[in-house]
Amino acid sequence: MLTKQCLVTFGLLFAGVAPAWADDFFDKKVAPLLQARCFECHSHEKKIKGGLALDSKSGWEKGGKSGPAIVPGKPEVSLLIKALSHAEVDLKMPPKQMLPNGEVEIFKEWIKKGAVDPRVLAKTSAKPELATEDDWEKEFTKRLDWWSLRPMRVGAPPGDDPAYPAWAQEPVDRFLLAKLKQKNLKPARPADSLTLLRRLSFILTGLPPTPADVRAFEKARGETAYEQLVDRLLASPHFGERFARHWMDVIRYTDTYGYEWDNPAKGSFEYRDYLIRGFNDDLGFDRLLQEQLAGDLLPPRIHPATQTLETLIAPMFYHLGEHRHGSSLMFNGTHQDMVNNKIDAFSKAFLATSVACARCHNHKLEAVPQRDYYALAAVFTTPRWTSRVADAPGKNDAAIARLKELRGDIQTELALLWRNTRLNSATLRQALGDPAKSKPTIQEVAYPLMRLTQKESVKNWEVLKKEWQTAREMRKKANQAFNPLGQVQQGVLPPGWVVEGDGMIHGHVREGTPLVALTGEKIIDRLLEAGFHTQALSSKLPGVLRMPAQHLVAGKFASLNLAGGEFGGYLVMDDHAFQNETISFLKNTEAQWKSFADAALINGAQQVTVEFATASLNPNFPPRTGLAPGLNHNDFGYEKRSWISVTGIVAHDSGGAPQDELAAFASLYERESPKDEEAVSAAMADWLASPLGRWSKGKTQPGDRDILNWLLEKNLLLNQAPLGSKLASLVKEYRSVENGIAFARTVNSMDERETPPMSYPLNVRGNPDVSGPLIPPGSLSMLEVKQRTGQGAGLSRLELANSLLDPEHPLTARVYVNRVWHWVFGAGLVATPDDFGRLGDRPSHPELLDWLARQSIQEGWSTKKLVRRLVLSQAFRQSGEVSAAARESDPGNRLLHHFATRRLEAEAIRDTLLAVSGRLDGQLYGRPVFPPRAVEDSPKRLFSGPLDGDGRRSIYLQMSIMDPPKFLVGFNLPDLRLPTGRRDVTQVPSQALTLLNDPFVNEMARYWASRLVKERHDNPNIRIRAMFLHALGRDPNPRELHFWNMALMDFSPRRGSALMDEEAAWQNLAHALFNTKELIHFR
C-alpha cells in the first residue's frame, strides 16, 4: 500500500464532459419515446399543451406554465419525471395511464447523464409523415440541399501570411490560419521537442517513446529529424495496431455476439489482424471499403507475409454486432432488429448518416426514404452469411499431392499383402459368431453367410436367391422415383451447388479408395464409397457443400447420402439467416439418406437453403452451450478433426429415400446354383475373394466395397504393416505429411456464388408482422451521384461499394478524412464523426474538409499520406498554451489555436503500463487473450485469463459484448454494441481508484521494480531519472528529483545499497509514477 505522503503525487482533475454516446442514446432511446408518447400534446406540429414543447431542446429548457421541464443531471427534481411518474395529482403525463416503468427509466437515465439533446427546432424542422409521394419528393429534393450532400467545392488554399512564414508551407496550415485571423486569434507557439515526441508516439502507435527514442531525438533536432521521426513511426508495425483499433470502434468490433449466451464470433480476430495489416501496408481506404463491403466479389488478394486471403476476411465486417441466440427468423422482429443493426453500422461508418431511422417511415430529418432502408436490407441479405477459408488457395497443394501419391502406393502394397488371403467356412463361421446373437438385415454381407454356413446350405441358397431377386426388383422400381442430381460418384455436382475448402475440393474418391489410419496399428480405417469425403486425405482439411434454395431444386424433396463426425453436420437456413442454431450434427460412419423439403416459410422468409459443413466452416459453431452434446464449455471449435461425406444427391416428389439395390450380392447369386455344401462353400469363398482381385486392379464393381469393409471389420484381411516393410514406411510417411498440415483458418464472411438477388419485404411502419411490397437490392437515393440507378433489379454489394467511391460522391471521402483528423487532433473538423446530418455538427472548416477529401482521393485514399500531412503541419506542432482572447472567443478550440492536452484511451493506458514496466509483448496478431475476470461463467465461455494478458497489447484482449475487459471499461471503452466514432472522455473518481488498487496496476509496478533492482546502481537519482525517462519521456527537474527521493525514503527506513535492493520500496515508487496525471495524458 502507498503512504499518505505518496498520495500527494496523484494529480486528479476530474470534471464532467458531455459523453459522445449521448447523441446515439438520445437518437435510439429517447427520441422515439418522445415522438410516440409526448408529441401528440407537446409539439409544434400537433399542439403545445400547457405551454410545454418537447420537440426541441429549447422547448423543455423554457418549459411550460410550471417552469423548465428538465434539470440536467437531476431526474429527481425534474418536472418531467414527476409528471411521468404520476407523483403529483395535478401533474400527470400522460394524464390517463402512466408509462411502463422501463420507459420512465430511460427518461431518468437520460436526464441523470446530462439530458444531452442535439435537437434545435429551427435546424431540424422535423415534419410529420408526408401524405403523398409528391409531398415526399418535394421534401426529399429540399433535404438534398444540405452541406454534406452538396458537391465538394475545392478552391485554392488561402495565401501566405508573412507574419507566420512557417505556416506557409502546408496548405492545411494556411486554411487554419486564415480562420484564426478572421477571429483575430493567433496560433500558440511551437511545442518543445520532447512534447512532440511523446505526442507523436501516442498518436501514431499508442505507445510511449522509449528512452532510446528520447535520447536520439534530443540529439537530432531540426525539421529533417522531425520528418524522419514521423516516417519511422508511420513505418512501425504498431501504427497498424493503433489505427485498426480506431476503426474497430467505428464498426463495433467484438469477439462475441452478445445477448444471453455471448456466442463466439468465428474468426473475428482474423478480421482484426486484417485491419492491422491493412493500415500497416497503407492499403487505400477505397480498397478497405471495397473489401469490407464486397471482398468475396473481388479478385482474390493474398497477403504475401501471412498467406491469408484478405478479400474473404474483410466481409467479416457484416457479422459484427449483437446477435440474438436461436435462429434469426424464429421470432419475428429479431431478424429485423439485427438487419437494423447492420444498416446502422454501415451507414454511420462510411456515410456518417443514421439510415436506421428510416426503418419505420421516411426519415424525419434526412433525405432517406423508407424504401431505401429496405433496398439496403436486400443488398445485405442476398448473399449467404457463412464461413469462408481465409488461407491462400494452394497452401496445402504440395502436401495434398504427396498424400495422394502415398495413398496410391499404400493401396498397391495392400493389394500385395491381401493377394494370398484364403477364406473357408470355418473362418467365416468364427467371424460370424453366435447366430442367436446376430440378426443381420438383407443388405448386410453377413445376411447370406449366416445361413449358408449352416446346415441345409444348398436349400438355403435357393431361398436366399429368390428373396434377393424379389427385393432387388422392388428396390430398383422404388428407386425410379428418385432423380439423380449431378453425378456425385463421378465427382460432378449439380449446377448451382457450391463447394469450398480443401476437404471438398480434393475429397472426391473412386469406389473403394482406402482411408489411411492416422494413428494406431491399423493401416487403413476402411474403404470409402465413391463421392466426396472431406477426410479422404486428412481430417484437418475443411469442407462445405452449399445447396441452392430449395425451390430451385427440381423436386419437392432433395435427399443426400450423408455421413460425418466430430461435429460435422448441416444447417437449414431461412433467407440466408446470419444467426442460426438449427444445426444437426452427423455421427454415422456409413452414409445415410437425409431428405430436405421446402419447409413452411415463417415470418416473411422467402426461401430455405442448406449447408453441409465441417465444424470450422459452420458459421454458428461452436453454438451456445448444450446445443453440441459432448463439446466442452472451453472448446472454441479450433483445430477440430471434423468431417462430412456426401455420396449421392437425388430429387423426388414423394417421401422416402433411395434404397440399397443389393448389388453386393449379384456376383453371389448370378451364378449357377451349387449342387452340394462343398460347392456352396466354394461359391462363398469366391464371392468374398473376387472383390480383392478387382480392387487391386482398380476395377471395383458396385458392392465390392461393402464386402471388403466387412472382411476388414472381421479381421479376415491383414490390416497391420509388417515391421520394416515398405508398407510400414509408406504409412509412417503418410502420417508425417498429414501431421504437417496446418488446420485451416476460417472466418465468418459472405458467399454470393450462385445466389440470385433477393428482395426484402418493406415492413409497414416498421412492423415485421405487416409486410408491404418486396424491395429489390438498391442504394440510397441521395447518394446516387449521377442519376437514380440503384433501385433496379438487383444492386450488388460490389456495385454499392463502387458507388460510394465515385470521385463526386459527397460523403465517403469527407467522412473518412474527418475520422482521420479526429484520430490525429482529438476532434474532427466535424465534431460528430458519425453524423453529418441535421442532428450533427457543421464543419468548423468546410473548405479545408473538402480540400483534404479531394487530396485524399487524388493520393489513392492513403491513410499514411494523410496522417503524415497532418502531423507535419504547424497546427499539429503547437503547444498547449491558450491565450486569454482564444479562451474567450473559442473555448472549445474548434479553430485549433493550440494543441489540447488529451487523456490516453483505455487501451493506451493499459499498454503504457505494460511498456513502461517492461512486460509488453510486441508480437502481432493471434487469437484473443481472455482478460482477467473476478468470476468465470463457464457455460457462457467467459473464462479468466492472465492478469497481464500475457503481456499482449489491449487490442488482442477478448472483446466480449457481455463482459468486456473491466480495466478498459473503466476508462471509457465504448459500448461494443454500438458504432462509436467518438469515445466518451469522462474523469471520475473510480478511474483514480483503478490506478490505485487494480491488481493489474500493482502487478505491473511489482514487475517494473523487480527489473529495476536487477540493474545495479548505487545512486537512487540515476534510477529515478531512468524511471522518469521510461514513464514520462523526460528527465525530472531538480524539484521533482528531490520530491521523489523523499518519497522513496518514506517508503523504506533502509539506506544505501540496502535501499537500492529493496524491491517493495521501488514497487511503491513505480506505483506512484503510474498514478501521476502526466502518465496517462499527453500534451
pLDDT tens, 89-137?
A: 778 888 877 888 778 888 988 888 888 887 754 344 444 455 566 788 8
Residues 783, 786, 788, CA angle at the centre, nearest 5°? 65
> Could you tell me if 584 and 569 are in contact, meaning their C-beta atoms sit under 8 angstroms apart?
yes
pLDDT-derived band at 735 (thresholds 50, 70, 90) equals very high
The three three-digit cell numbers of residue 848, written as one number: 479545408
At 1044, the amino acid letter reads W
Q: Of 136, 151, 132, 152, which Cα lies nearest the Cα of 367? A: 136
What is the rounded CA–CA span in Å between residue 199 and residue 759?
Answer: 50
Count of Cβ atoms closer than 10 Å to residue 819 Cβ: 25
Q: What 3-state class would DSSP assign to 18?
A: coil
Residue 34 confidence (pLDDT): 84
Instruction: For helices 812-825 and 237-250, give the axis angle rounded to 10 degrees.
Output: 120
CA atoms of 10 and 1077, how far apart (whole Å): 7
Supply 546's cell numbers: 452449399
The C-alpha atoms of residue 1060 and residue 1013 are separated, in whole angstroms, by 7
CA distance linking residue 630 with residue 587, whole number of Å:
12
Helix (H, G, I), strand (E, B) or coil at 169: coil
Q: What is the pLDDT of residue 913?
A: 99
Which residues lie across from 499 on neighbouring strands? 545
What is the C-alpha to C-alpha distance for residues 538 and 522, in angstroms, rounded to an integer? 16
pLDDT of 10 above 70? no
Say how far apart CA 1083 and CA 1067 lie, in whole Å.
27
Query: Which sign does the torsion angle of CA 923, 924, 928, 932 carry?
Result: positive
- Reduced to 3 states (helix: H, G, I; strand: E, B; else coil), residue 844 is coil
Q: Residue 416: which residues within 8 A CB-CB, separation 6 or more?
A: none
pLDDT of residue 541: 98
User: For 144-210, where are the alpha helices, taking DSSP H only?
Assistant: 171-182, 193-205
Q: What is the pLDDT at residue 754? A: 87
Contact predicate 523/720, CB 8 Å? yes
Average pLDDT, the chain: 90
Q: Please tell me the predicted confidence (pLDDT) of residue 311.
A: 98
Instruction: Tell me the pLDDT tens digit for each residue of 995-1033.
Output: 999 999 999 999 999 999 998 778 899 999 999 999 999
- The owner of cell 487473450 is 929
Whole-angstrom Cα distance, residue 911 to residue 430? 70
**What is the reported pLDDT for 259?**
86
Pair 533, 509: CB distance under 8 Å: yes
- Give percent above pLDDT 70 in the chain: 94
CA neighbours within 13 Å on the CB side: how many for 703? 16
Rg of the chain taking only CA atoms, in angstroms: 36
Peptide bond into 623 cis (omega under 30): no
E strands, 478-599, where?
A: 483-484, 498-500, 508-509, 513-516, 524-528, 531-533, 544-547, 557-565, 569-574, 583-585, 592-597
Beta bridge partners, 650, equal 484, 559
Q: Is the pLDDT higher at 771 or at 967?
A: 967
Q: 501-536, pLDDT tens digit by residue?
A: 999 999 999 999 999 999 999 999 999 999 999 999
Which pLDDT belongs to residue 437? 77
CA nearest to 596, candidates 605, 609, 583: 609
**Residue 167 · residue 897 · CB < 8 Å:** no
Identify the three-state secondary structure at position 205. Answer: helix
pTM greater than 0.85: yes
Does residue 94 have a cis peptide bond before it, meaning omega lies within 30 degrees of 0?
Answer: yes
Q: Which residue has the cell 536487477?
A: 1014
| Cα three-residue angle 150-155-160, rounded to 5 degrees | 145
Percent of the chain with pLDDT over 90: 70
Q: Distance between the two ends of the chain, CA-based, in angstroms?
A: 30
Selection from 502, 317, 286 nearest residue 400 by Cα: 502
Mean pLDDT of 857-862: 98
Strand partners, 88: 91
- 497, 655, 703 from 473: Cα distances, Å: 32, 19, 16
CB of 281 closer than 8 Å to CB of 930: no
Please give the sequence-ordered ranges of beta strands (E in DSSP) within 853-940, or none if there are none: 902-903
Whose CA is closest to 941, among 633, 639, 623, 640? 633
Measured at the CA of 890, the angle between CA 885 and CA 891, to 5 degrees, comes to 95
For the chain, the residue count is: 1083
Q: Round to whole Å and give the CA distance between 682 and 478.
A: 34
Half-sphere exposure of 974 (CA within 13 A, CB side): 25
The per-residue pLDDT for 328 is: 65
